Amino acid sequence: MVCLEICLAILVLGLMIYKWSTATHRAFDDRGVYFEEPKPFFGNIGTSMLGLTSFHKVLSAFYNRTRGHKVVGFFNLRTPMIQLNDPEIIKKICIKDFDHFPNHQLFLESNERLLNDMLSVMRDQRWKHMRNTLTPVFTAAKMRSMFALMNDSFGECLEHLSRLSDGSKSGEGLEVDMKVLCNKLSNDLIATTAFGLKVNSFESPDNEFYQIGQSLTFSRGSQLFKFLLATLIPKVFLFFNMKIFNGQKVEYFVRLVVDAMKYREEHNINRPDMIQLLMESKTESEDNWTDDEIVAQCFIFFFAAFENNANLICTTSLELLENPDIQQRLYEEAKEVQESLKGSSLTYDAVQKMKYMDMVISESLRKWTLAPVTDRICSKDYTLTDDDGTKLFDFKVGDRVNIPIAGLHWDDKYFPEPQKFDPERFSDERKNEIVPYTYLPFGVGPRNCIGNRYALMQVKGMLYNLLIRYKIERSPKTVKDLWEEARGFNLAPKAGYWMRLMPRK
């Protein structure tokens, strides 16, 4: 008898979970839009959630199957979204009629400290004000002075490599996991440029800043678990009053920034980093931003810069070792710049002069786009029409919009031979051929990435320094086929980004 009851209970529970997992599946039934039958739990994104394949690949495959439709229903797990497969429509929604779609979707409705104060999460007027406050922080002029702060960290990274290479047998070069190396570099650069703190993660890998910063990013361990729980079943998360971030660790960063601001005010210290830029724009802004609201903007670097910048160096290095001609040409350009600098260290303006570097990085961001999608949410009803006036879709408040960046970047209609790494796509002669709004590595419109200049100067600066000293080569542990081997959300091989660095004479 007991057994029967247990069995029944399990059955009922199973049914309830199944019902829950498919509860949203009728979302597009009466809305006159094409969609693919979703699967329980996984919707249209299938096995990438289980880590069996990469998110990028699943999204590109979905785009490929549906690209004949300008708008298409898409189930991101259980969440129904309207995917825009057409560049002109992306332009309409993200630029022309931005007023109807001014926000990103919230990944969780909690009153978590700092999380809701980050620019990327803010909404409507509050977002607009903060974006206006931050825009002057990320201008080319500000980045130029901030770039000088990066020099020390580049130097420490190179010193670390040269110590390693002194220890290795000559002629063999260094085998390094580029991801580990770049994570440390990213960390030190965030510490110095965003938090006004000098750390050296190459000499002391267990420094407090690194440890605490790591425990806050979403991409690993219990943090990822909590994040997924909060995204997938927010009700449970909120019911138990769970928090994604540990309060003490958050406090560590708040103190770091607040104390630095106070100290600088009292001692009249100038240092061209985020803290100072935020202090300046805070006084210039009409808004009364709280300490938390200011600190949260430094906090963004952990989520936006940390993984992205490191991954971009990794994917680019991988392409360089697979395409020795491209690496050679880039090396020659770097060498030229080095000579023109006559012994002084790299500057922001010298970085901007490297045209080929820009082509290579642009192509790297095309082929290995770090954000495979971005999103918007509809805040005012909106009827989407085609150029000839035919109605395509009626958006209702709360509808979520999906912009298939990876799908577009891999579409042979826009980028012939999408698997080919070809920086010439971005040459002066050919870049005009790119169809507008098909190349979106940093998103599009007023809500695009605010940190793109920062990211580009860091990545270009590091690659310059690396290439003038080392030739990047394949090692036995180098990933064979990133497209096949990448798993989950991050474009990274499970075993790491191993490569060999051969010192140049």
Ligand X SMILES: *[C@@H]1O[C@H](CO)[C@@H](O)[C@H](O)[C@H]1NC(C)=O
Query: Which residues here bind ligand X, judged by CB under 6 A?
Result: 57, 60-61, 64, 151, 155, 288, 345, 410-412, 418-419
Dist CA 88 CA 409 (whole Å): 15
Q: What is the DSSP letter of 83?
A: E
Residue 279 contacts which entry, ligand HEM, ligand X, none (Cβ below 5-8 A, type-dependent): none
Residue closer to ligand HEM by CB (options 443, 493) is 443
CB of 412 vs ligand X, minimal distance in Å: 3
CB 292 within 8 A of CB 269: no
- CB distance 79 to 400 below 8 Å: yes
Contact residues toward ligand HEM (CB under 6 A) are: 104, 119-120, 131, 300-301, 304-305, 308-309, 312, 370-371, 374, 441-444, 447-451, 454-455
Q: What is the H or E stretch that residue 502 is in? A: strand 498-503
The smaller minimum CB distance to ligand HEM, of residues 120 and 215, is found at 120
The answer to whether the annotation marks 449 as part of a ligand binding site is: yes
**Which of 281, 282, 249 is CA-nearest to residue 113?**
249
Distance from C-alpha of 370 to C-alpha of 441, rounded to nearest angstrom = 7
* Cα(253)–Cα(208) distance, integer angstroms: 11
Q: How far is the CB of 51 from ligand HEM (least distance, A)?
A: 22
The binder of 441, among ligand X, ligand HEM, none, by C-beta within 5 to 8 A per type, is ligand HEM
Other beta carbons within 10 Å of 344: 9
Cα 120 to the chain's mean position, in Å?
Answer: 12
Strand 400-403 and strand 79-84: the pairing is: parallel
Q: Which does 450 bind (CB under 5 to 8 A by kind): ligand HEM, ligand X, none?
A: ligand HEM
CB 255 within 8 A of CB 126: no
Contact of residue 200 among ligand X, ligand HEM, none (CB under 5-8 Å per partner type): none
The DSSP output letter for 431 is G
Residue 288's binding partner, choosing from ligand X, ligand HEM, none, with beta-carbon cut-off 5 to 8 A by kind? Answer: ligand X
Task: Give the nearest distance from C-beta 5 to ligand HEM in angstroms.
Answer: 51
Smallest gap, in angstroms, from Cβ of residue 388 to ligand X?
26
Residue 165 or 186 having the CB closest to ligand HEM = 186
Q: Based on CB atoms, which residue is closest to ligand HEM, 53 or 374?
A: 374
Q: Measured from the CB of residue 148, what is the shortest distance to ligand HEM in angstroms? A: 17
**Least distance (Å) between residue 297 CB and ligand HEM:** 8
SS3 472: strand
With 0-12 CB in 10 A as exposed, 13-18 as middle and 19+ as buried, what is 9? exposed
Q: How far is the CB of 272 from ligand X (least distance, A)?
A: 13
64 is in the binding site of which of ligand X, ligand HEM, none (Cβ under 5 to 8 A by kind)? ligand X
Selection from ligand HEM, ligand X, none that 60 binds (CB < 5 to 8 A by kind) is: ligand X
Q: Which amino acid is at 8?
A: L
| Distance between CA atoms of residues 384 and 33, nearest Å | 12
Complex with ligand X: residue 340 or 419, whichever CB lies closer: 419
Which residues contribute to the annotated binding site for heme?
Answer: 449
Binding positions are 449
